[in-house]
Amino acid sequence: MLVVIAGATAAATYSAIHLPLQRIDFRFLALTILTITISSRLTVRIPRISGHISVSDSFFFLTILLYGGEAAVLLAGAEAFCSSMRFSRKSIHIKPLTIIFNSAMMACSTFVTFKILNVLFGDITALRHGQFSGTFVAALCVMALVQYGSNSSLAAIYTSLKMNEPVWHIWTKYYLWASITFFAGASAAGIIAKITDLAGFYALVATTPIITIIYFTYRTYLRNVEAMAAAAKAEEVAAHAQEGAVFSD
């Protein structure tokens, strides 16, 4: 936990120093407000553990595409901190160190994502200009995959230490299915980033209903998964009961 916090501190410091101030405008302020006030409320609880998945990564992806990774790292850390504080005050008691870890985890995963994007594609903000291309689609896929992989891995390691279970078991059981939000969020961010130059601020406003749709789609999907898991468990219990009846005769 302390290693992640130290890494996030270094990542945030680097991002603050290299923040491209010439790109920061009113739209970034609006995006920051939307991210902190709205996305943190659109969360789905991870079954059987005290964790939540939010759609905030969609806003982080959009920030990377419009303003660069440095701004996204700072926004990710701030959003995770505010979201954890809100949960702590509202429904779940979260220790201060855990709140800091949540913020650090988001900052670290976002930093890793944008650095890999820079190595593979150069200036990621330049890709949104012009028509859709294979390079742009590839960048969106890499962005979603790396963010999902780094974020879920750190979360799985933390949960593994807390529950004293193997990391791979924790990851496949609790975090594997969360990939849908990252790829859906990257797709939405890519579309919005492409039309931002044409529609301006109105394209940014469009993020709210799009992200809301992603949230409800994901929540419905998760409910279906839970329902199928419950049905499978009930069927297994019934099968054991039948076996017991056979053996008792």
pLDDT digit string, tens, across residues 179-238: 777 888 888 888 888 887 666 656 566 555 655 655 555 556 556 555 555 554 555 444
- Residues in a beta bridge with 53: 44
Angle at 189 (CA atoms; ends 184, 190), nearest 5 degrees: 100
Taking 3-state DSSP, the helix, strand and coil percentages for the chain, each rounded to the nearest 5, stand at: 85, 5, 15
Global pTM exceeds 0.85: no
Amino acid at the residue 87: F
Check residue 70 and give its pLDDT. 96
Neighbouring C-beta atoms of residue 205, cutoff 10 Å: 14
pLDDT digit string, tens, across residues 35-52: 888 766 655 554 444 444
CB-side exposure of 225: number of CA atoms within 13 Å? 15
Domains of the chain (ranges plus CATH)? 2-248 (1.10.1760.20)
Angle at 116 (CA atoms; ends 85, 139), nearest 5 degrees: 95
Amino acid at the residue 14: Y
Do the Cβ atoms of 53 and 178 come closer than 8 Å? yes
Is the model's pLDDT at 159 over the cut of 80?
A: yes
Q: Which residue would you say has higher pLDDT here, 165 or 146?
A: 146
The pLDDT of 113-124, averaged and rounded, is 94
Check residue 236 and give its pLDDT. 47
Mapping DSSP to helix (H, G, I), strand (E, B) and coil, where does residue 42 land?
coil
